[in-house]
Structure formats: C-alpha cells, structure tokens
Amino acid sequence: MSERKVRVRFAPSPTGPLHIGGVRTALYNYLFARQHGGEFIFRIEDTDSNRFVPGAEEYILESFRWLGIPFDEGVGFGGSHGPYRQSERRAIYKEYVGRLLDSGKAYLAFDTPEELEAKRKEIPNFQYDASTRGMMRNSLSLPADEVEKLREEGAQYVVRFKVEPGEDVHVHDLIRGDVVINSSILDDKVLYKSSDELPTYHLANIVDDHLMEVTHVIRGEEWLPSAPLHVLLYRAFGWEDTMPRFAHLPLLLKPDGKGKLSKRDGDRLGFPVFPLEWHDPKTGEVSSGYRESGYLPAAVLNFLALLGWNPGTDQEIMSLDEMVRLFDIAKCSKAGAKFDYVKGLWFNREYIQMTDNGELAPVFDKVLRENGIEAPMERVEAVVGMMKMKKINFIKELWPLCDFFFIAPETYSREDKFVRKNWTESTAADLTELAALLESLDDFSVEALKSAVDHWAETQGKKPWNPWRVALVGTGKGPDMYELAAFLGKEETLRRMRKAVEILG
Ligand code: GLU
C-alpha cells in the first residue's frame, strides 16, 4: 500500500449539543492530522431524520470556532469531496447499496415490524442472521418472481448485509491492538431503508470514509462494537487496501465512582458537560457550557487533551502546538479516563495567570457590564493586571475582589474588622496631612507616589498604608496602595480620603 496523505474526520450526528467527550475526540483527530501534515474533515451524519435536532449543527461549528480548532474541509469549510452532509448524499448511497445487492453481499428483507416482533416472541434471543434468515421474508428465502412482485407493488423493504458466519474478524486498533470477534455473533445489519430512501449509519459511514479518502478513524470507544461490521463492509466493497486504521478512544468516566460520564453528573456536581450553553429547542431546558461558565478555550483543550493521553512526562501545561508535537495516538490509554472536573478548574486558574491581560480584559469587561460598570478597556486591562494574581478559577470572581476600583465606598463601617483595627484616634489627622501632600504632587504615577509617601512616612514616623486603604477601599482588600491610588488618580483618591475622614472622624 502506498503512503496516503493522512485524512481524518470528525463526524457527529446533529442530535443535540456536542458532548465534551465529542470535543476530545475532535481534538485528538485534529492533533493527529496536524502532526502528520494531514487534513481534518467535518462531516455531518444526519441520516437518522427522527433524531435530528434543529440548531445542533450550528452549535457544533460554533463550539469549534470558540475552541480555536479549525477544520480543513467539510460542512461550512468546503472541499473537493463534498457534499459533507450525509442527507445530501442520498444518490451516492443508493448506488453503493446497489453494488452490494448486485454482488450478492446484501439482500432485500420485506419483514414488517409486526412480523419481526412475532419472531422475537417466538424465538428467544432472536437475531436476524445466517441461522434465521431462511425463515424470514427476504430475497434469499423467497422465490425470485415473488420478490419481483413485491417490488412492483411497492412493498417496503430494508437492505440487509449478508454476514457470513464462522469467521474471525480482526480489527487492527492503534490503541487496543488486534481485536478479534467471530462473525457468527453479528447480525445482518440493516444498511438501507426504502421507507425514507436513506442508508443507516453503518453504510453511510463506510461509504463516506472511503470516498473522502479517510486514512484513520479516531472515535469513541462506544463505536468499537461496530468496527468488525465496518471491516466486513470494506471487504464486501473490495476496499480492503484503503481501509482506514482504527483508533477507539477510552471512555470518559464519572468523576466519582464507575460508569460513563453523563450530563446528570455535571448537574449533580456542578460542572458543564457541553462546550457551550445549550438551549433545548423542545423542552426549553438550558444546560451550562464551558464558555458561559468562564473557562478559557485553551484551558479546556489542555484539560481534555490529558483525559486519555499524556506525554509520558509530568508536563501538564501545553500549548496547542506543543500538543501537536507530543501527541501519540498509540500511547492513548485503553482504560477509561476519569473526568476530573476539579483538575479542569486548576487548568483554568493556571491559564488565567498565563494569558495576556489584554486578552482577558474583554472577558472581565463583560462581567463589569453585568454589574453596571462601563470603563475604558485600558482601565479594565489595568485592573485585571493588578488583580489576577489572586487564586481565582474564573475571571468573574474578580468582581467582588476589585469592585472598589470602579465604585467608591459609600459608607465606612466600623463594624468592619479591618476598619476598626486600623482607624485610630490620630488617623483622621494623619490622613488629612497625607492628603495635603498628595494634593501637592504633579506626578501621580506609582513611582512618584511611592517616593513621596515613603519619604513622608519615614520622616514623620507614620504608617499610613492601612488607614489609607480603609479610605480608598473601605475594607482590607485590594492591591498595592500606590498602584491603587495611581489608578484612581489624584482627584478620586483625595475625594475618597476626605470622605473617610468626614465619616469616620
Ligand atoms: N456519527 C457518529 C457519531 O455521532 C460517528 C461515529 C464515527 O466516528 O464513526 O459519533
């Protein structure tokens, strides 16, 4: 087999919001494509019209825009292998179903739902396969003229894959190694339904991976049981030479206990399981998203990258470029990965510290606006710079820590412990003196303030900093006093000092 250009795809079904596990699947595909100089395709698998949810496709695209994961081709991106929405590829599937029928690898089955139900009642553990197909109504069991007649009458049918029993089917999985199952346990899967003239997931998935020249199928573990059937389908079409390599990623598990991570775990423990907030169009229910909860996209990607893979060192913080360099699909774990959402908070904390203040400013600006504050972006950025050293998980947590930058204390309360401790007999006189000094300054920069106030404090033997903080903040929080005073400016600084003196006396 000649070396083919690496092509991978992310192929969600638009049945609702994208689960965070789907985001990890897409991320691993992206990392794999990038590190091999390959291409990353976005395909929409929407052949099951019953499960179609309006808005889901747009939601998925918006999620990856927010995360900063670009696709090279697909729905919304174009490309030479389109259309990339399966509902727009009906004619293609029809042709390929025809090929399987012509070569005897598939057959028509006319059994009605009632007939199937009756068989299930009659035979315990009934499975439509080599052992039972002879007793069903299909093109293998019925005389040819009867099949012809049924078709002419327009009887509904499905096309089933004719699985030959008794054969070991090998799936070569890049993570799990050689996975073998015997074809006898597989049923004759439905590939196509005449009722809606649409293929099922299995057929559409295989035909598209082939036509889109997909070289590697990297997807969640829940698809592993389908893989043997997919291998058989590749063979039935005669495409074994270009069959993609498979990699089935480990499940994401509940943060506590066993089992698959579910939305309910998120609701119960208070973390999102979707990248963006989702408004269910049917129920109106709103589910929280990482974006709206205040996570930085880079933190989310870093957190997800390490759920099921690690670089083999202790390194945890990685840029996307570093991940591309270090990622190794073969080193993904087989065992499920616990969804440690507390670790997700840690990543967000770390990324807040690492991210440019200029980039964080718009995020904080939104929080300020929610609190009725409008401030020039440079001032927002300056506050973020002074305050983000605090151990905060989310930028919105900055607000109660630094509201005083934007709102002067209205009242000064002696109930406040810090006020009580730092406002003594002589404080009013000291602050009045300090105010006079500040008023005389032309330069109100941090440096100028520091040199003037430090000098005054030393020569006068005063310690004005805590009372000064009481005046400007109203309590014992906030940054360095010189930074705060410089930020507020002379006029506002003096106004707050005089007001404190007036009220606290
Ligand atoms: N449509 C499937 C899904 O929703 C795709 C599975 C695959 O990647 O083959 O995940």
Helices (H), 297-424: 297-305, 320-326, 341-354, 357-370, 377-387, 398-402, 417-422
Q: Which atom of ligand 1 sits closest to the CA of residue 25?
A: 8
Looking at the domain assignment, is residue 503 inside a domain?
yes
Q: H-helix or E-strand containing 248?
A: strand 245-249
Q: Which of 9, 13, 18 to mutate to test the pocket of ligand 1 (most atoms within 8 A of CB)?
A: 13
The pTM is what? Answer: 0.92
Same domain, 54 and 136: no
| Structural domain ending residue among the three candidates 377, 402, 427 | 402
Same domain, 363 and 345: no
Q: How far is the CA of 219 from the centre of ligand 1 (A)?
A: 7
Same domain, 184 and 272: no
Looking at the domain assignment, is residue 83 inside a domain?
no
- Please tell me which residue in 119, 254, 263, 396 is annotated as part of the active site: 263
Atom 5, ligand 1: which residue's CA is nearest? 11
Q: Which atom of ligand 1 sits closest to the CA of residue 45?
A: 1
Task: Give, rounded to a whole angstrom, the gap between the first and last alpha carbons of the chain.
Answer: 88
Atom 3, ligand 1: which residue's CA is nearest? 12
Closest to 85 in 3D by CA, of 191, 7, 14, 16: 14
Determine whether the shortest distance from the Cβ of 15 to ligand 1 is under 6 A.
no
Which residues make Cβ contacts (< 8 Å) with residue 310, sequence separation at least 6?
331
Determine whether the shortest distance from the Cβ of 336 to ligand 1 is under 6 A.
no
Looking at the domain assignment, is residue 176 inside a domain?
yes
Q: What pLDDT, on the 0 to 100 scale, is given for residue 257? A: 77
**Domain containing 482 — which CATH number?**
1.10.10.350
Q: Which residue has the tokens 């389109």?
A: 82
Same domain, 487 and 412: yes
Q: What pLDDT, on the 0 to 100 scale, is given for residue 2? A: 58
Same domain, 173 and 313: no
Report whether the peptide linkage leading into residue 83 is cis, meaning its omega lies within 30 degrees of zero: yes
Number of residues that this document lists for the chain: 505
Q: Which atom of ligand 1 sits closest to the CA of residue 218?
A: 8
Range of the domain at 190: 90-198
Same domain, 318 and 364: no
C-alpha to C-alpha distance for 253 and 289, rounded to whole angstroms: 19
Written as tens digits, the pLDDT of the chain (505 aa) is: 558 999 999 999 999 999 999 999 999 999 999 999 999 999 999 998 888 889 999 999 999 999 999 999 999 999 999 999 999 999 999 999 999 999 999 999 999 999 999 999 999 999 999 999 999 999 999 999 999 999 999 999 999 999 999 999 999 999 999 999 999 999 999 999 999 999 999 999 999 999 999 999 999 999 999 999 999 999 999 999 999 999 999 999 999 978 999 999 999 999 999 999 999 999 999 999 999 999 999 999 999 999 999 999 999 999 999 999 999 999 999 999 999 999 999 999 999 999 999 999 999 999 999 999 999 999 999 999 999 877 899 999 999 999 999 999 988 988 999 999 999 999 999 999 999 999 999 999 999 999 999 999 999 999 999 999 999 999 999 999 999 999 999 999 999 999 999 999 8
Q: Which residue has the tokens 């698809």?
A: 223
Looking at the domain assignment, is residue 488 inside a domain?
yes
Looking at the domain assignment, is residue 1 inside a domain?
no
Same domain, 347 and 360: no
Determine whether the shortest distance from the Cβ of 25 to ligand 1 is under 6 A.
no
* 258 a catalytic residue: no
Specify which residues 108 forms β-bridges with: 159
| 212: DSSP letter | T
Report the SS3 class of residue 325.
helix
Q: How far is the CA of 387 from the centre of ligand 1 (A)?
A: 44
Same domain, 415 and 498: yes
Determine whether the shortest distance from the Cβ of 226 to ligand 1 is under 6 A.
no
Q: How far is the CA of 225 from the centre of ligand 1 (A)?
A: 12
C-alpha to C-alpha distance for 473 and 281, rounded to whole angstroms: 46
Q: Are 351 and 298 in contact (CB under 8 A)?
A: yes
Looking at the domain assignment, is residue 427 inside a domain?
yes
Q: How far is the CA of 256 from the centre of ligand 1 (A)?
A: 27
Q: Are 269 and 8 in contact (CB under 8 A)?
A: no
Same domain, 182 and 113: yes
Count how many domains the chain has: 5
Closest to 386 in 3D by CA, of 418, 349, 422, 361: 361
Looking at the domain assignment, is residue 82 inside a domain?
no
C-alpha to C-alpha distance for 199 and 201, rounded to whole angstroms: 7
Query: How many other β-carbons are positioned within 10 Å of the β-carbon of residue 136?
Result: 18
**Domain containing 24 — which CATH number?**
3.40.50.620
Helices (H), 103-143: 113-122
Q: Are 69 and 60 in contact (CB under 8 A)?
A: no
C-alpha to C-alpha distance for 352 and 339, rounded to whole angstroms: 21
pLDDT digits (tens, 9 = 90+) for 22-62: 999 999 999 999 999 999 999 999 998 888 889 999 999 99
Looking at the domain assignment, is residue 2 inside a domain?
no
pLDDT digits (tens, 9 = 90+) for 345-391: 999 999 999 999 999 999 999 999 999 999 999 999 999 999 987 78
Which residues make Cβ contacts (< 8 Å) with residue 23, sequence separation at least 6?
63, 67, 275, 300, 304
Same domain, 331 and 369: no
Our CA angle for 225, 46, 308, nearest 5°, is 45
Closest to 394 in 3D by CA, of 357, 354, 345: 345
Determine whether the shortest distance from the Cβ of 47 to ligand 1 is under 6 A.
no
Determine whether the shortest distance from the Cβ of 266 to ligand 1 is under 6 A.
no
